[in-house]
Structure 1
Amino acid sequence: MILTGDRGLTTAEAERRFESGQGNAAPTGSSRSLWEILAANVFTLFNGIVFAGFGVLLALGRWQDALFGLPALFNTVIGVVQEFNAKRTLDRLAVLNAPTARVLRDGVEVEISPERVVIGDLLVLRTGDQITADARVVESDHAGPSGLEIDESLLTGESDAIRKREGDEVLSGSSVVGGSGTAEVIRVGVDSYAAKLTVEARKFSMVRSELRGSIDRLLKWITWALAPMILIVANGQMQAQGGWEVAIESGGWREAVVGAVAAVIAMVPLGLVLVTSIAFAVSGVALAQRKVLIQELPAVEGLARVDALCLDKTGTLTTGEMVFDRALPLREVAGWERVLGHMGAAPDANGTARCLAEPFSGAALLADPEAIPFDSARKWSALVIGDDPVRLDADAAPAQSPVPGTWVLGAPEFVFRDAADERVAHALAEAGRLAEAGSRTLVLAHSPARPPAAERPELPAELVPVALLTFSERVRDDAAQTLSYFAEQGVDVRVISGDDPRTVAAVARSVGLECETGRDARTLPEDLDELGEILDRERVFGRVTPRQKLAMVHALQRRGHVVAMTGDGVNDALAIKEADLGIAMDTAAQATKAVARLVLLDGRFDRMPGVVAEGRRVIANIERVSMLFLTKTTYAFAIAVVFGLLAWSFPFLPRQLSITDGLTIGIPAFFLALMPNASRYRSGFLKRSLAFSIPAGLLVMLAIVGVQLWASRAGSFTQVELQSASTLTLAGIALWVLAVLARPVSPLRVLVVLAMYAGLALVWLIPLLRDFFQVTWLPADLGLFVLGTVVSGIVLVELLRAWHLRFTRRVDEVAVPAE
């Protein structure tokens, strides 16, 4: 053990140790490095296929047909730029919200970044602090059975506070929930828990989700299908040129290769992953501009899925600022004002106790009493004053010294569990009346006895009520409007608090939540199934312990709910971590921020509707866009199989597919992915997408095959005319698929669809473009047949849409009871 003395290290010694590598440095940053971003966007299987085809066509001198490589390159650049911009925003915000460490240097308390903590530093620990390096307790401000109380729930999963005495180790990632003291750093950097917890919480990670899982599964299927498809297409194109030998001798293999490349490239849904990543990144930046930090970008999907929101009353519905109202004396016991003044001025006082410092500031502080700090599980704190005359500060008035014994301050029903005594019954009844009126009520009690010696603090015998203290919280101005929004959106709100359930219910009613009375969590069952049934019926809960908050999250999840949990206290951390979407307020303890997926940087509860709306916008738009890409993949596979097996020449040049891909998918997909969309999230993304995309793709394939069959029998048409007819047929039907998926109609969506139709018209109207893409005006009979085919295709797409709407409704109806 490195001895440092009670003044800590000198600044010079700390700097020397830091330079020698004994600092708490660890990999930081909230997102991937630039190299990781480049690798993820550039070195992909589909990029390999696309750029291989691009290289082959360039080698053949067909650069006009290699145009698909440029949009692929452009899309990759967009993906890198968008994600890098999101990374910079997240890194900047993460730095602003990084935890700090409090250490002694040259005997002076200073705050430094966690990275500057070195081995041998003396950490100054207070209630609410997150411990940033592994350390050994040197001194505790509370002697005897109290000591430091450390919440190691983030490490062990146990929410009970663990008492640490001199010589005990405290681990980084744990948090101080009671007491204060100093601890000497013994492990730093990658050797400590901080490197494993805090860094991981801020790291960019692709969260597993239904959306990403479905897309990954689709890409895996397509990857497996590509190899045999390449062989089928290559053989079919060579056979269409007269067979392998003839094609090689006559040079027809060049056209066969061009056709094969066109068929394979059409199968690759290259933009689907790209558009998904960009949608997440843009959403992350948009929320950051609204003072909402997303610590994991794909958590945006979680925003759309939430249907159960658990709110901590304090700091969420209320401002969290507690104000002392009044004291109601119940029994005259000398010195009670002085006891309250000391409790309010204690360095480890919680938010409620601190409110007592100012109204009782005239009372002198006691000198070195034995203190039992507040604990959220037992909901009381205490001062133990010995039998010797009470020593006061130098300026203290000698009168009204507190009576020796134990002074307890806490929730009335926790301090007095037995109401047999008439005075206790009267105090509890009065406390209940005040709580029902919306006041937070504490009781100050006294006992001449000391607390019994035990591992955990226990109440002494012979406690009598001395005074009732009332406090009030200011309800947030935006709380009622925000709760109304959630009700309209079908998100069930549950208010969960450690306060008296009557007080919590009064606050809930004041913001428009319907509840006659709150449920006392002490009466809740431990069985998760039974607890889930109660949570489905009731909405307001008081006297909730940290362990019960976690149990509530698990009970709701077991019943099929997607749960969001908000909070700001250290004891909220484990429930926030286990929730599907953990949300921390700006005032949250460092440990709570570290595990939350969202942090409301300005603490404004009215940000929540925008957060939920953003998530729903992203996932609904990605589902819409995925149907475009999967329709293209379906018809590309189908056309390749049919034309390959029939040994027909592929009906498009790669450059012509660039027209249809750009106008029917590529360009509109970027707009559609970023448009407003208030649709509620529904599970079954992959089933719904394939139920529309596969029939739509087969319709396009049948239309192309129909044009080829009619043209082969109706007359002699040039290859350019046949390719032009196929391009118009594909574009005409695919654009109507776009029009269907862009619904419901809005001016911006109509503008996007009309712009794509105009782009198609310009290709035929401008001679330069017409020559470049090798398309031509069609003979009248072929043109009329193409027009009739497109109109028929449009009618069938409309019928498909009507069937798909009924199909998705049936799927949703089946899914709801299953939840």
Structure 2
Amino acid sequence: MPNAEKSISLENATDVGGGLTSKEVSDRIAQGKVNGDFNIPSKSVKQIFKDNCLTFFNLINIILAAFVVAVGSFKNCLFLGVIICNTAIGIFQEIRSKRAIDKLALISAPKADVLRNGEIQTIPVKDIVLDDIMILSAGRQVCSDCIAVEGDCEVNESLITGESDPIVKHKGDEILSGSFLISGNAKAQVIRIGADNYANKITSGAKYIKKNNSKMLASINYILKMISVCIIPMILLMFGKEMLLAHNTFTDAVVNTVSAIIGMIPEGLVLMASMVLAVSVIRLATNKTLAQDLYCVETLARVDVLCLDKTGTITEGRMEVSDVISLDGSDHEKALCEMIYALGDNNPTALAVMDRYKKDGFLPEREWSASTAVHFSSAKKWSLAAFENKGTYILGAAEFILGDAMTDALREQIKTLSEGGYRVVLFAHSDNMPPEVEGGALPENITPVALVRITDCIRKEAPATLKYFAEQDVDIRIISGDSPVTVSGVAQRAGLEHYENYVDASTLTTDEELWEAADKYKIFGRVTPYQKLELVKALKAKGHTVAMTGDGVNDVLALKESDCSIAMQSGSDAARNVSNIVLLDSNFASMPKIVGEGRRSINNIERSSVLFLYKTVYSFLAALMFCFVPMGYPLQAIQLTQINMFTNGIPSFLLAMEPNFKRVKGEFIENVLPRSIMHGLLITFNFVGIVLMRYISGWMDIIPRETFDYSIETMSTICIGFAAFVILFKVCMPFKPWKIGLFIFLIGGFTADIFILRDFLLDLKPMCFEMIVMTGILMGATVLIEALSSFFERHITDNLLVFQRYWKDVFVKMSAKRKAGKENKNA
């Protein structure tokens, strides 16, 4: 790190009084000497259209539709309408989400005050150019590396170094980007911009756009990969059977093949997941939370370890006076108030004292006039104000004010008062006036008169938020650069369990010790940026899903490493840029809302995914069966589209928006696939039943084969549709009034379609009495089988899980073997 106290001379000094001219600014922009935008860009509209339109399954659907159109069966390509609607909805929701993100990003974009053409202008940080004169004032963050050219100030570099002690900056001193001014005012000339800034250099190890680590997305992609492997061979097998075994015409072979394959494509699965998560992003935006990618809410909902920084997360980042303890029996409150207002300092201690008297209504008429005032500095550790006929009052660290004159009794009293994470400062008095020494000096004969106990302000919502995470079995770790005793005291007052279980990270000298301590301790003090990173790595290596909050440049690498990173808007630009979530109001209380939104998304996506995937299961099994049965596929694509629209498409998207805050358990595949297989087998049973009834009725001369074949599509549409509604009934449970209305609407729409569209669109033929009876028998058997499967559901699911895990392990081993083979070949 550059020497913070070193004075640097400027080769090209800018006019301090007027700043750069408009021409000089334009010249520098033309030369590329401009700060630039280091924010994470959201996905462009072009990219959104591309990602939603150019998908593998959209391509398969278009090819299948082209074949159907080529043979003149135009009505059987209406399934493209569902694809178009789904794609349009996905594009609309993502663009809507993008606009919400961009709007919040614009609002939260950092600004800087610069001097140009003799006037102070407020501009975006990205527009700062080399040699700009920045106007720095207390509370503002330094946006670019610069050199002080006028004025003195104190800066806090904790966001960069983790060290909380302020540093005094004089004319000629370098001030690093990422630091904050805590007192004073200064003008500073920009000496580095963009990637050359110190803050950007130390964060160069962090990827600019963090890759999402969504388990749900990985599971969906895995499922889609398996489906895509099966589709092409199945198309060839089904078409060959239709032509060679069933001896159908080319037109019938194409229509039957498309009908069999179309159901295997879960065209709405990825779209539905993206849409639900996009809605979550929009909902979070209304709660002042900026989610910088769609899948971060899912990750946070799965988190089981949450790493918190003390300042700005549990505390408000400001101090407050707990009490003033007199040492001589007199009331010194008025003197303390007069002194602090005479000084006008804005360091944390001074602001805490000011707030005490503002809050208590104690602010008196200004009766005392200070003849001498020495402002606080981190070097002296004290400040003083001298008043005529009142003497000199001093406030600061006792050991710096009293020196060797400090008694053991006072030292012990301060130590006792400091327990619980309090900071104790001494208020002292002298009848003498301070000597006239440049920079200020203490008077003689100083007497301690009071002790001022100061503490971090605990956020009002912090105890309730910590309690919420404890109830959700989320383990809390507090990682801070402050003293572990101080952090433990703050944790105790915030209501954190096991607050006494802390460690000084400076005593953990090796990575092995740090990794061992990761699970052992709850509170870590004196933590360096490198140790923060290693703690996150250790927790992840132990199988935890880790979220981390942070606000400083020193947090960036650990934020990047965590599974879900959360930054405060009040923190550094670098921390916000690499984080998945930014709390725009810097309010930790927003976390439960984010977790709840993530749970709603995951639980609903899992439930709706079952509706898409069981269709894939039964379509694959039915297509496989009809590859070896000498009869045509008993459904056309248009009939299957109608069934899917009412039993999968419409309800899946509506159910995915339902409030659902149950705790997320298990992996996505393990939660979804067994239920999908069970439901898929139920539909497959109906296909098997239809085939058996066709052959049995012909063998027993109940119904002539030609009569059965004439109405088989009608029977299949009713039986498959009824079975799908039985499954939907189970998925919708528990029922609410709106679900009852939805279910009635869907059944009514399906039934009306059969009667209204049966002739000119669905091509359904009337059934004879015997086929109606058989249809009723098959529907009754469906209800019975579903009831039995519900009774034995746990046992069946466990066995399916074992089966699924076995084949998953097989695929993993095959992939690893194939990868190893390629590496050996390359070697």
TM over 0.5: yes
Would you say the 8 A contact 1:58–1:66 is kept in 2?
Answer: yes
Instruction: Report the Cα offset of residue 655 of structure 1.
Output: 0.6
Structure 1 residues 39 and 117, CA, compared in 2 at 3 Å: closer, same or farther? Answer: same
What letter corresponds to residue 228 of structure 2 in structure 1? Answer: T
Instruction: Report the Cα offset of residue 285 of structure 1.
Output: 0.3
Task: Give a deviation string over 1:138-159, Cα, whole Å, max 9, x none.
Answer: 659679xx99958657xxx999
Q: Secondary structure at the match of 2:306?
A: strand
1:560 is aligned to 2:543: yes
Q: Secondary structure at the match of 1:270?
A: coil
Determine the C-alpha separation between the residues in 2 that align with 1:202 and 1:762.
55
What letter corresponds to residue 79 of structure 2 in structure 1? Answer: F
1:12 is aligned to 2:22: yes
Would you say the 8 A contact 2:100–2:282 is kept in 1?
Answer: yes
Task: Give a deviation string over 1:774-816, Cα, whole Å, max 9, x none.
Answer: 23454234323422442354245425633356569999xxxxx
Q: Secondary structure at the match of 1:322?
A: strand
2:320 is aligned to: 323
Task: Give a deviation string over 1:452-507, Cα, whole Å, max 9, x none.
Answer: xxxxxxxxxxxx99975322455444333333322322223344555665665555
Instruction: Report the Cα offset of residue 635 of structure 1.
Output: 1.7
Structure 1 residues 7 and 801, CA, compared in 2 at 3 Å: closer, same or farther? Answer: farther
Would you say the 8 A contact 1:14–1:118 is kept in 2?
Answer: no
1:757 is aligned to: 747
Task: Give a deviation string over 1:186-221, Cα, whole Å, max 9, x none.
Answer: 565688799999999999876132111111222222
1:217 is aligned to: 222
Would you say the 8 A contact 2:168–2:377 is kept in 1?
Answer: no
1:238 is aligned to: 243
Correspondent of 2:721 among 720, 724, 731: 731
Correspondence 1:433-472 to 2 at 5 A? 433-436=416-419, 439-442=422-425, 468-472=451-455
Determine the C-alpha separation between the residues in 1 that align with 2:657 and 2:82.
19
Determine the C-alpha separation between the residues in 2 that align with 1:162 and 1:554.
32
What letter corresponds to residue 713 of structure 2 in structure 1? Answer: Q
Would you say the 8 A contact 2:547–2:562 is kept in 1?
Answer: yes
Correspondence 1:149-548 to 2 at 5 A? 174-175=178-179, 184-185=189-190, 188=193, 207-242=212-247, 252-325=249-322, 349=347, 351-352=348-349, 354-355=351-352, 372=378, 382=380, 409=397, 423=406, 426-436=409-419, 439-442=422-425, 468-497=451-480, 504-505=487-488, 507-515=490-498, 517=500, 519=502, 521=504, 525-526=508-509, 536=519, 539-540=522-523
Q: Secondary structure at the match of 1:679?
A: coil
1:114 is aligned to 2:130: no
Would you say the 8 A contact 1:126–1:176 is kept in 2?
Answer: no
1:772 is aligned to 2:761: yes
Structure 1 residues 319 and 775, CA, compared in 2 at 3 Å: closer, same or farther? Answer: same
Question: Identity across aligned pairs (percent)?
Answer: 34
1:77 is aligned to: 88
Structure 1 residues 27 and 600, CA, compared in 2 at 3 Å: closer, same or farther? Answer: closer
Determine the C-alpha separation between the residues in 1 that align with 2:644 and 2:601.
22
Unaligned stretches of 5+ residues in structure 2: 1-10, 329-334, 358-362, 430-446, 699-704, 804-827
Would you say the 8 A contact 2:135–2:186 is kept in 1?
Answer: yes
313-322 vs 664-673, greater mean Cα deviation:
313-322
> CA RMSD, aligned part only?
4.8
Structure 1 residues 192 and 326, CA, compared in 2 at 3 Å: closer, same or farther? Answer: closer
What letter corresponds to residue 786 of structure 1 in structure 2? Answer: L
Task: Give a deviation string over 1:288-307, Cα, whole Å, max 9, x none.
Answer: 11121112221111221122
What letter corresponds to residue 308 of structure 1 in structure 2? Answer: V
1:92 is aligned to 2:103: yes
Structure 1 residues 428 and 160, CA, compared in 2 at 3 Å: closer, same or farther? Answer: closer
425-434 vs 270-279, greater mean Cα deviation:
425-434
Correspondent of 1:61 among 72, 93, 99: 72
Structure 1 residues 105 and 690, CA, compared in 2 at 3 Å: closer, same or farther? Answer: same
Would you say the 8 A contact 1:272–1:629 is kept in 2?
Answer: yes
Structure 1 residues 402 and 17, CA, compared in 2 at 3 Å: closer, same or farther? Answer: farther
Determine the C-alpha separation between the residues in 2 that align with 1:561 and 1:521.
23
Q: How many positions carry a matched residue from both structures?
A: 750
**Scaled by the length of structure 1, what TM-score is found?**
0.77
Correspondent of 2:639 among 656, 669, 675: 656
Q: Secondary structure at the match of 1:112?
A: strand
What letter corresponds to residue 648 of structure 1 in structure 2? Answer: M
Task: Give a deviation string over 1:85-130, Cα, whole Å, max 9, x none.
Answer: 1111111111111112232334555431123222331345578765
Correspondent of 1:786 among 778, 795, 799: 778
Structure 1 residues 168 and 216, CA, compared in 2 at 3 Å: closer, same or farther? Answer: farther
Determine the C-alpha separation between the residues in 2 that align with 1:444 and 1:93.
46
801-810 vs 33-42, greater mean Cα deviation:
801-810
Correspondent of 1:706 among 689, 711, 733: 689
Would you say the 8 A contact 1:101–1:113 is kept in 2?
Answer: yes
1:451 is aligned to: none
Correspondent of 1:608 among 573, 585, 591: 591
Would you say the 8 A contact 2:22–2:117 is kept in 1?
Answer: no
Would you say the 8 A contact 1:326–1:471 is kept in 2?
Answer: yes
533-542 vs 479-488, greater mean Cα deviation:
533-542
Instruction: Report the Cα offset of residue 228 of structure 1.
Output: 1.4
Q: Secondary structure at the match of 1:102?
A: strand
1:31 is aligned to 2:37: no
Instruction: Report the Cα offset of residue 744 of structure 1.
Output: 4.6
What letter corresponds to residue 690 of structure 1 in structure 2? Answer: L
Structure 1 residues 356 and 65, CA, compared in 2 at 3 Å: closer, same or farther? Answer: same
Structure 1 residues 725 and 563, CA, compared in 2 at 3 Å: closer, same or farther? Answer: same
Determine the C-alpha separation between the residues in 2 that align with 1:49 and 1:445.
83
Q: Secondary structure at the match of 1:470?
A: strand
Determine the C-alpha separation between the residues in 1 that align with 2:223 and 2:121.
54
Structure 1 residues 343 and 273, CA, compared in 2 at 3 Å: closer, same or farther? Answer: farther
Would you say the 8 A contact 2:536–2:561 is kept in 1?
Answer: yes
1:44 is aligned to: 55
Correspondent of 2:575 among 592, 600, 618: 592
What letter corresponds to residue 43 of structure 1 in structure 2? Answer: L
What letter corresponds to residue 639 of structure 2 in structure 1? Answer: Q
Would you say the 8 A contact 1:338–1:365 is kept in 2?
Answer: no
Q: Secondary structure at the match of 2:321?
A: strand
Correspondent of 1:618 among 561, 581, 601: 601
Structure 1 residues 603 and 787, CA, compared in 2 at 3 Å: closer, same or farther? Answer: same
Determine the C-alpha separation between the residues in 2 that align with 1:784 and 1:370.
90
What letter corresponds to residue 773 of structure 1 in structure 2? Answer: L
Instruction: Report the Cα offset of residue 704 of structure 1.
Output: 0.6
1:798 is aligned to: 790
Determine the C-alpha separation between the residues in 2 that align with 1:445 and 1:592.
41
Determine the C-alpha separation between the residues in 2 that align with 1:591 and 1:282.
27
Would you say the 8 A contact 2:559–2:566 is kept in 1?
Answer: yes
2:672 is aligned to: 689
Would you say the 8 A contact 2:291–2:580 is kept in 1?
Answer: yes
Would you say the 8 A contact 1:65–1:655 is kept in 2?
Answer: yes
Determine the C-alpha separation between the residues in 1 that align with 2:341 and 2:531.
32
Structure 1 residues 581 and 432, CA, compared in 2 at 3 Å: closer, same or farther? Answer: farther
What letter corresponds to residue 265 of structure 1 in structure 2? Answer: I
Determine the C-alpha separation between the residues in 2 that align with 1:702 and 1:544.
62
Instruction: Report the Cα offset of residue 363 of structure 1.
Output: 8.4
Structure 1 residues 177 and 237, CA, compared in 2 at 3 Å: closer, same or farther? Answer: farther
Instruction: Report the Cα offset of residue 341 of structure 1.
Output: 5.7
Would you say the 8 A contact 1:342–1:364 is kept in 2?
Answer: no
Would you say the 8 A contact 1:318–1:475 is kept in 2?
Answer: yes
Determine the C-alpha separation between the residues in 1 that align with 2:412 and 2:287.
46
What letter corresponds to residue 37 of structure 1 in structure 2? Answer: I
